[in-house]
Structure 1
Amino acid sequence: MADSVQVAASPPQKKKKRRARLFDPKRLKKNWELYVLIIPTFLSFLVFSYIPMYGVLIAFKDYVPVLGIWDSPWVGFKYFQQFFSSYYFWDLIRNTIGIQVYGLVVGFPLPIILALALNEMKDGFWKKFSQTVTYAPNFISVVVMGGMIIAFLDPSTGIINHVIQALGIKPIAFMSDPKWFKTVYVLSGVWQGTGWGSVIYLAALAGVDPALHEAAIVDGASRIQRIWHINLPAIVPTMVILLIMNVGSLFSMGYEKILLLQNPLNLSSSNVIATFVYKQGLLDGQYSYAAAVGLFNSAINAILLIIVNKIAQKVSDTSLW
């Protein structure tokens, strides 16, 4: 009986020993250089991510800059209720989800396809040229990109409409038609980010054992078969992680590019949560209202991230945690 008690008690003792080893002062002293290297990253997260979270309080207060955050009166969920009951609530949700899902469906597979294609090219001029051409758009600033889109799609002087007219089709007012806004926004983003997005998949493909391809060639496998059965399974974990992160940030989209492309004619399709928060907070000075909408946006992203991660755990062996 005593032996069984000792055996049952042994696992917790082992856990305690392992925890003690993890926080061993001698070990910390021995690897102090590594912890010093972590300090700048730790401080950046602390200063720019965690300390500003104190400002979330203004979402539950009637914030007055003169009184400060703490002395401003509490209003509870007043601004959340105001946002949920507003007539533009569902329009903002619909536009945000529409653009992001459109971008995810179109933009997620393309870096994978490009990475697989580049991986099959032999090292040389054409491979370097292809990589340069596909990577270069990522380094164009948002402001320049917005100007290029407006200039290229101009109904009278834009190069795209010149090509359309050459095909015998009437010019299309892309930037003033709400039906075209999502397509213009998503496709321009795909063109700009596909090359850079393929880099991480190329890094994953670099870890594939060449012996697998050699064995497959000996067995008579074609190139398509080797891509499907060797390369693609090798990047599946990377695909799952990136998919989780993309779905988890479904409601997070930058407002800069949308603001540059936005005008009164396409507002019904281009007004999203990010631009709404910017206008309410910085332009109209409704800080508490903008903070409440932003907090709602972040909460939805967190919930989506947890749900998708749980699904990934059940479907595959890969997940964020």
Structure 2
Amino acid sequence: MSAPLAGQPFKALCSYAYFRTPAFATLLEELHASPAQVFGDSGAHSARTLGITLTIQDYAQWCHQYDDRLTLYANLDVIGAPEATWRNQKELEARGLEPIPVFHTGEPWTYLKRYLDEGYTYIALGKLLGNPVPDVLAWLDKVFKIANGRAVFHGFGLTVDRALREFPFYSVDSSTWGSGFRFGLVKLFDDRTGRWVKLMQRDRAALLQYRDLIRAHHADPLAFASKATQDNDSVAAAAAIAFRRYEAYIRARHGPVTIPPGPHNPVTRNGAPALPGLHLYLAEGSAINLRRAATGIRTRLEEAPA
């Protein structure tokens, strides 16, 4: 079961809003101790929530500083202002950067067509959270039809299972992988049934029922059984492995998804290869939890005895 899960880089999405300090360089070095893909995001939505002011000058400097350690980085988008988002895209490009452009729900379709006509073949989709699922699915259906194979897409914060099963995304990110260490809600993926299993820590009946699935995630059920036995390293590792299992399942469902050739490619800007998707990035603002996840993937999955 672990064979198709091994061999993929560890994937994390790190936002400038959370990782603006020099300590980010240390985290990147640690993540890249093993194969890793790191998606740099401006974190504009989080910055508004936290009361942080982001400037395009500072964000551009951050992207330049870590350009060789980031697999890609996003535009500094402005939700509700597509023309401002477009101007930021061009401003960052004028500063020698190649960000992935961002198109949001609710924006005029002419902006998506503009990105496509300008040769952007990898586009991020934003403002997906908070919308009714049927509306998201209908919007995504139109996005993929307009693109008609000319581009692939990243879904920001996309955790709608039906959307990932129906549409061949190149990449997505999710912060819900952290529900175990944040709220005690453990999410495991059963790749035999293709379904998520959710259970609360310290729910002994559920832990007993799903003990084999927990062990398949390279964790001991005791790590979730009580406050005295709780192991945060195991919680984060099991969560990361669950999303690795889900990533492999969805990738197998759609087959390899590749970025079409074009003049703008935010992944291959430094000559790096663009590995076929799906790629599922773990979005997280805590370096501690990303270290736990990366270590868990490496030691429990990649280096685990067959």
Q: TM-score, normalised by structure 2?
A: 0.23
Choose between structure 1 and 2 for higher RCO, CA contacts under 8 A separated by at least 6 residues: 1
User: Which structure dedicates a bigger proportion of its chain to helix?
Assistant: 1
User: Which structure dedicates a bigger proportion of its chain to strand?
Assistant: 2
